[in-house]
Amino acid sequence: MLKTVTANPVTSEFNACRRCRAARLCRLARKPPAGTDASTKVVLRHRRLRRGDYLYRTGDPLHSLGVVCSGSVQTCLLHPDGTTQITGFHLAGEFTALGDMNAKQHTRDGVALETTCVCEILLSQLLELCHESPDVRRDVLQLVFDQLAHNEAQLLPLVGRKSATEQLAAFLLSLSERLAERGFSGEDFSLSMSRQDIGSYLGLAKETISRLFSRLENEGVISLDARRLRLTDPRRLAGLAAGATGL
């Protein structure tokens, strides 16, 4: 069921590209640096995925970094005991597989949650560009440092053993902010992942997620119709994420 329809060269710019974190990198990468001839391989290629398609699988050699143009991707870790764990959601404008950069291969499965378009930056090209361009160097370092800081921030609520309510509220706000950053509505959007996935990601049972959604809706903080989510009281939600004991 994994039919991947790739085709487009990098001729036309996607809407999402404008606010993509890799936009600058992308532009730099597309114009072959002075001194190389025009036969330099295309640095970016696009892949189009449908719900359930794999962007990569655990154990695949790590050839490229993926940047989500549109749609969303989740990464799943396969445990030896057969269970799987969701380790991240990647929205438009975000990178995937950064955590595998020190290895030679992918340590997770990357799966599209909906119809999704991904730009792939070939590592060989990226590293070459790193040597040639100080701008690329700076961008790459900045990117990685941002990711480090992001990961550390993500770690805190988990270690701090925040309550399930706080965690879910923080998760919804994180989605909201990231969507808003890319120009989408941050207060009315669709959850591309299941309750189960959210639970796995946050370390909570799917039943708990369900119960919390119900409570948040009863309290008027959110409004939920299947997977369509509206943040009717974002400030209150932020309060809950910060540990307000109102609920």
Partner DNA sequence: CGAAGTCTTGATCCCGTTCAAGGAGCGTGG
Partner DNA sequence: CCACGCTCCTTGAACGGGATCAAGACTTCG
Residues 111-170 that bind DNA (CB under 7 A): 161, 163-165
Q: Which does 227 bind (CB under 5 to 8 A by kind): a copy of itself, DNA, none?
A: DNA
Q: How far is the CB of 203 from DNA (least distance, A)?
A: 6
Taking CB under 8 A as the binding criterion, the range among 64-72, 172-180, 195-203, 227-235 that sits at the site for a copy of itself is 195-203
Nearer to DNA, 66 or 199 (CB): 199
Among 131, 226, 235, 245, the residue binding a copy of itself under the rule CB under 8 A is 131
DSSP 24-66: HHHHHHHSPPTTS-TTSPPSEEEEEE-TT-EEE-TT-B--EEE
Q: Which of 55, 74, 70 is nearest to 115 (CA)?
A: 70
Give the H or E element holding residue 140: helix 134-159
User: Would you say 65 and 126 are in contact if contact means Cβ atoms under 8 Å apart?
Assistant: yes
Q: For 79-110, give one letter per residue: b (16+ CB within 10 A) or e.
A: eeeeeeebebbbbbbbbbbbbbeeeeebbbbb
- Regarding 104 and contact with a copy of itself (CB under 8 A), the answer is no
Nearer to a copy of itself, 71 or 88 (CB): 88
The amino acid present at 29, given as its one-letter code, is A
Q: How far is the CB of 165 from DNA (least distance, A)?
A: 6
Q: Which does 66 bind (CB under 5 to 8 A by kind): a copy of itself, DNA, none?
A: none
Residues of the shown chain interacting with a copy of itself in the complex, contacts defined by CB under 8 A: 77, 81, 85, 87, 98-103, 130-131, 134, 137, 140-142, 144-149, 151-152, 154-156, 158-161, 201-203, 243
State the residues that interact with DNA by CB under 7 A: 1, 161, 163-165, 194-196, 199, 203-211, 213-214, 224, 226-227
